[in-house]
Amino acid sequence: MIALKHRGQTSAENLAYACWRCNRFKGSDLGSFDPQTGDFSFLFNPREQFWSEHFTPSQGKITGRSQEGRTTAFLLKFNTEDRIQERLRF
C-alpha cells in the first residue's frame, strides 16, 4: 500500500480496504515514530503481517503489541473516544 507519490502502483495488489478515518489519518504515510521508543517504524502491513502479532483488542481499545502496531495505532488514531464507543456497540 504505497501511495502514488511514493511510486506506488494503481493496481489491486497495492490497494487496501480502509475505513474513511484510517484512510484520512494515514494519507500517503509509509511510517511514523513509535510513541513508546521514539524510533521510526513502518506501519503495519496487512498483506505481509498478522494482525494478532501486532495488536490486542480489549474493551473497545486496540493496543499495539509491536513497534509497527504501536505506530499504526497512534498514527491512525485507533483509540479516540468515539472510535472506542463505536467498537463497544458491536
Neighbour count for residue 60 (Cβ, 10 Å): 15
Q: End-to-end CA distance of the chain: give it in Å, rounded.
A: 28
Q: What is the pLDDT of residue 85?
A: 96
Predicted model pTM: 0.83
Q: Which residue has the higher pLDDT, 77 or 18?
A: 77
Instruction: Give the model's pLDDT for residue 70.
Output: 98
Domain of 51? 4-88
pLDDT of residue 50: 97
Does residue 78 register a pLDDT over 70? yes
Dihedral sign for Cα 22, 12, 64, 71, please. Answer: negative
Count of domains forming the chain: 1
Tens digits of residue pLDDT in 19-68: 888 888 988 888 999 999 999 999 999 888 999 999 999 999 999 999 99
